[in-house]
Chain A
């Protein structure tokens, strides 16, 4: 992109402080963005990147109040002289939660929402909706409810809803946060197509760097602690130490290159896996691959939980799960993966006794547990919901964690003893007297895990424990779970997170449309095209790297990466 004379977005010594905060969230921002550019803004949680987005689309100061200093011009006009409605005609925002932002009952109506508010006559609305729907390829689902759509179609609908106003700038606020890997990949492709076909200025705010770099971007801007740390090309960024220093995960293939002791330089074009040139380092990769030793397998421990020919249906007609069979062994850490609606959550509900098994059985230490109530099962199977706010009902951490014991009539002395022990394990002891509202999201998550662990279950089921978390919080939560796992608790993770599968769970069970289609090594799941398609995953970039380097057994290469990391991590 050739920079033009006047930038379309111009931050000049811009500072912003929320009234509710003691410190500014954005400090002395200087940033120019030119028409037609495609910009990626990355940064860890709390870095100020979302605040930056809110300043652009007018939610600040329209909805979130605070103190602005310096200047922010869009199309040459100071934003403080505009309001959120005028800004929405220049910048269209696609929010991260595509489910939450649908206001229309049908796709067509949702696309028309902005026009309805502009009092556009009905006939014109229908015309324009038809045109935009065709443009983003959802004309055929125009009369469906947004909730009946696939993940990719939902993204297209949200996009059409802002394109209807013919905005110049499109702002994507964490577009990948709630998407599975395959849908996330599609979303990035849709955004790129819009950029290429319509020449809009695109700003993507995300922390999942590698996933956005699936397609080209002009510049990557790194934000941390409210300041701009870097503003450079993807190739330069990935070759530098900026990512590591600012808590952003580098692409996996870059990590692999570093394991092989290869110095990553901008000349290798390492910004994207498809641009990466490995010719000079192929031999180094191959020899590293040969050098990794497969660790000796530990003898299998006895099974704790057995799922035996289990079938279940909500309505008695359509099976939600059919003939599921697997074992969870003592001290294991396993992923359950699959598309939305594949039956993962239902399986967890059956294990916890929230729903009753139709056919087959669930055995705990060899005993059928169908007669045991929810409460009785909770003594050995704990369930942690995805959203900690859906579990927390007390003001103080101590009371929240003690709740399960108090409901069981345990005496206060023992409660105090057990709660303190659990809080210690969970690293929450310093906060024992704190109100829960003062905790961060990750800390709240720990509180909910602690409140389950205090019942001393042998098996812990977690629903999407890392969804929406940045690299630091992801590592924090997962390292914590690894510690819990090392104390002997078996852990089952329902997840879409491919990093989690690679780094923490050697084994993965894959469900697709109620069928169990795989129960095997994570490295096999992430490299087998059929399983990948059925579970809405995507091929790991490590597999591509193996192909680039001429390593025939890509699956083995991925396994070597996992083995190496496990040894290196300890």
Chain B
């Protein structure tokens, strides 16, 4: 079904079976490692690693296609802006200047800038699969309990997990409303002018907000009646006990961080890999 596009679905894979808390910590560790290093070799290694995990967790391409397109567009726009705002950033970083070709005006493409931007793009590209894996393989309730375990107030994490859970519902209601309004003559395609389309989308969003509010009132009543928010803390029914696999996963992530750190410390003497000297 369409509404199952971007939501948690249980599959029996080693990744799904990991505890939510461990998955969250591993996600943070690996993301930190990837964001820290500017060594293209390490980053490519990370990318390959996260693609393997993606494969193991049996996430289908169709599930993440839309998301991926947005990410690619983001990376592209980001790259263009980075180049226009700081075309010489690479040369200051690496302290050398090897021009490749003259573009226009004062803009010149250098090997340093190219390396820097390619590194940056791959950095984003290898973090995204990690996020996708975490979101799509973690039961929203376990997500809430694991975020709470690292210090977020449980009311906040519960709100996030409820939002994640109701998102597909809201999407469905949006579609229903949109269709009914189109039947009344609403034009949502490219045929309408931009100003018209913004005005028209209000005709869908206003009813959507009101019906969502109705829904929220029902859920909050149900939660109040069953004692939500009574105590400063709460326990969780579906927190898993840690299993050997959880420790292995944690160990792998820590090793990954250590590798990144040692490459930086011993090989590169810093965050950047500099092949130009």
- A-side interface residues toward B, CB under 8 Å? 57-59, 62-63, 84-85, 88, 93, 95, 97, 100-106, 108-109, 112-122, 125-126, 129, 161-162, 314-315, 349, 352-354, 374-375, 377-378, 382-383, 385, 387, 389-393, 403-404, 407-408, 451-452, 455
Given A122-B235, A407-B184, A352:B179 Cβ within 8 A: yes
Determine the chain B residues whose CB is within 8 A of the CB of A354 once the complex forms. Answer: 179, 182-183
Residue of B141, B177, B218, B230 touching A118 (CB-CB under 8 A): B230
Given A105-B165, A383-B183, A112:B237 Cβ within 8 A: yes
Q: Is the CB of A117 within 8 A of B230?
A: yes
Q: Report the nearest A residue to B177, measured CB to CB.
A: A390
Q: Is the CB of B239 within 8 A of A84?
A: no
Interface 9-mer from B123-131, B201-209, B249-257? B201-209
Q: Is the CB of A129 within 8 A of B225?
A: no
Residue of A84, A315, A392, A407 touching B225 (CB-CB under 8 A): A84
Q: Report the nearest A residue to B164, measured CB to CB.
A: A105
Q: Is the CB of A97 within 8 A of B236?
A: no
- B-side interface residues toward A, CB under 8 Å? 1-2, 139-141, 162, 165, 173, 176-177, 179-187, 202-204, 206-208, 210-211, 214-215, 218-231, 233-239
Given A100-B219, A106-B238, A117-B229, A389:B210 Cβ within 8 A: yes
Q: List 14 A-B contacts (CB under 8 A).
A: A95-B225, A102-B222, A104-B141, A116-B235, A117-B228, A118-B230, A349-B179, A353-B183, A375-B185, A391-B180, A403-B185, A403-B203, A407-B186, A455-B185
Shortest Cβ distance from residue B237 to the other chain A in the assembled complex, whole angstroms:
4
Determine the chain B residues whose CB is within 8 A of the CB of A408 once the complex forms. Answer: 185
Q: Is the CB of A383 within 8 A of B180?
A: yes
Shortest Cβ distance from residue B165 to the other chain A in the assembled complex, whole angstroms:
7
Determine the chain A residues whose CB is within 8 A of the CB of B140 once the complex forms. Answer: 105
Q: Is the CB of B179 within 8 A of A57?
A: no
Q: Is the CB of A374 within 8 A of B179?
A: yes
Q: Is the CB of A315 within 8 A of B1?
A: yes
Given A105-B165, A375-B182, A382-B183, A161:B233 Cβ within 8 A: no
Known: A105-B238, A392-B210. 9 other contacts (CB 8 A): A104-B141, A117-B226, A375-B182, A385-B176, A385-B180, A387-B211, A389-B207, A389-B214, A404-B185
Given A84-B224, A117-B234, A101:B219 Cβ within 8 A: yes
Q: Is the CB of A393 within 8 A of B237?
A: no
Determine the chain B residues whose CB is within 8 A of the CB of A390 once the complex forms. Answer: 173, 176-177, 180, 207-208, 211
Determine the chain B residues whose CB is within 8 A of the CB of A403 once the complex forms. Answer: 184-185, 203
Shortest Cβ distance from residue B13 to the other chain A in the assembled complex, whole angstroms:
17
Q: Is the CB of A114 within 8 A of B226?
A: yes
Q: Is the CB of B184 within 8 A of A404?
A: yes
Residue of B165, B179, B225, B237 touching A88 (CB-CB under 8 A): B225
CA distance A104 to B220 in the complex (A): 13
Q: Is the CB of B224 within 8 A of A100?
A: no
Q: Report the nearest B residue to A345, measured CB to CB.
A: B176
Q: Is the CB of A115 within 8 A of B237?
A: yes
CA distance A97 to B222 in the complex (A): 10
CA distance A389 to B173 in the complex (A): 11
Q: Report the nearest A residue to B189, measured CB to CB.
A: A373
Residue of B184, B230, B234 touching A452 (CB-CB under 8 A): B184
Report which residue of A85, A352, A390, A455 has the largest number of chain B beta carbons within 10 angstroms of its beta carbon: A390
9 tightest A-B contacts by CB? A407-B185, A101-B222, A100-B218, A112-B237, A117-B227, A404-B184, A354-B179, A378-B183, A114-B226
Determine the chain B residues whose CB is within 8 A of the CB of A389 once the complex forms. Answer: 207, 210-211, 214
Shortest Cβ distance from residue A214 to the other chain B in the assembled complex, whole angstroms:
26
Shortest Cβ distance from residue A373 to the other chain B in the assembled complex, whole angstroms:
9
Determine the chain B residues whose CB is within 8 A of the CB of A382 once the complex forms. Answer: 183
Report which residue of B214, B225, B229 has the largest number of chain A beta carbons within 10 angstroms of its beta carbon: B225
Determine the chain B residues whose CB is within 8 A of the CB of A59 once the complex forms. Answer: 221, 224-225
Q: Report the nearest A residue to B142, measured CB to CB.
A: A105
Given A116-B236, A117-B231, A389-B211, A63:B224 Cβ within 8 A: yes
Q: Is the CB of B206 within 8 A of A393?
A: yes
CA distance A390 to B178 in the complex (A): 10
Q: Report the nearest A residue to B230, measured CB to CB.
A: A85
Q: Is the CB of B239 within 8 A of A122?
A: yes
Q: Report the nearest A residue to B215, measured CB to CB.
A: A100
CA distance A103 to B140 in the complex (A): 11
Determine the chain B residues whose CB is within 8 A of the CB of A108 once the complex forms. Answer: 237-238
Q: Is the CB of B224 within 8 A of A314?
A: no
Report which residue of B176, B223, B226, B229 has the largest number of chain A beta carbons within 10 angstroms of its beta carbon: B226
Shortest Cβ distance from residue A358 to the other chain B in the assembled complex, whole angstroms:
16
Shortest Cβ distance from residue A528 to the other chain B in the assembled complex, whole angstroms:
32
Q: Report the nearest B residue to A147, measured CB to CB.
A: B169
Q: Is the CB of A314 within 8 A of B141?
A: no
